[in-house]
Amino acid sequence: MISFCPFMGYPGVVITHSELPDNQWSLLTPEGVFCTGRILSRTEYAAKWQNLPRGGIYYETKNHSNKTNGCVEYYFSMLPCEDVIDLTLKITNLDELIWRQVMADICLMNVRAQNFYDPDYSRTFIATRKGISPVSDFMESPKRPVFFKASKDSASMHFYIGNPFWNITDINITENIVMTQSIDGRWTIGFGWQDICMISCNSDEYHGCHHSNPYLGDIVPNQTAQINGKIYIAQQTPENLLRRFMSEMNTHK
């Protein structure tokens, strides 16, 4: 069974699984919100986590605008099941301008999940036009590859483009999930959304993580955009988990 413990006052959560006691993941929800030409926020807000029925948690909060950023209202919820967490993200535009092509930056750190941490990307998988492939097929560690969704414009991804910390690839992802298989091959963790802008991977021993960044489209003033996602910790192969995700999220091509 999956369970989690939120960081009080901060939009982060530690995730565990009862059958994997030596493994922990940290989810940052979100690290930032971007639109075309603007950084709307970079974790400049406090999160007061509250309880939901059936073991779920959520927070509602907002950051305040300044000369650069917009005023963003957030809702984020997590509902645990046997081998999956259902995620809901809502972003409300409290600004005076339309936000074009909004992307949230959400990080799942695996560096403390010793049976899953993948320093050479050989057990981390994405889906492309050629099928499911390990990230190591496209870029070697310690580089930090970024894969864009082919159908999305890169205008809201300016934080990554030109940032020397990240390495932009010319590989387009076709499905909205990134997955890592355990060392023994019995388990796979997957992190995905109904729609995404990009996936990125980082293997260094301090920040080992995946980013699966949901796409919320254009948001006009006083409008709320919502998107649903999932985190799986399942006894399935990456291939089977991908098929399950596509079915449950209705992302069939």
pLDDT tens figures, 32-51: 999 998 999 887 788 999 99
Q: What is the pLDDT of residue 155?
A: 84
CB 226 within 8 A of CB 234: no
Rounded mean pLDDT of 101-111? Answer: 95
Phi/psi for 155 (5° steps) reads -65, -30
**Which among 174, 182, 178, 172 is positioned nearest to 191, based on CA atoms?**
178
Q: Within a 13 Å sphere around the CA of 135, how many CA atoms are in the beta-carbon half?
A: 30
- Give the 3-state secondary structure of residue 102: strand
Q: How many helices (H) and strands (E) does the chain have?
A: 1, 18
**Which among 43, 35, 157, 156 is positioned nearest to 98, based on CA atoms?**
35
Model pLDDT for residues 121-132, shown as the tens digit of each residue: 999 999 999 999
Taking 60 as the threshold, does the pLDDT of residue 120 lie above it?
yes
Q: What is the pLDDT of residue 117?
A: 93
Buried b (16+ CB within 10 A) or exposed e, 214-232: bbbeebeeeeebebebbbb
**Which among 248, 251, 242 is positioned nearest to 127, based on CA atoms?**
242
Q: What is the pLDDT of residue 67?
A: 57
Q: Which pair of structure tokens corresponds to residue 4? A: 């989690």
Domains present along the chain, CATH in parentheses? 2-248 (2.70.98)
Model pLDDT for residues 166-190, shown as the tens digit of each residue: 999 999 999 999 999 999 999 999 9
Rounded mean pLDDT of 156-167? Answer: 90
CB 104 within 8 A of CB 35: no
| CA quadruple 128, 129, 132, 133: dihedral, nearest 10 | -70
Per-residue confidence at 206, pLDDT binned at 50, 70, 90? confident
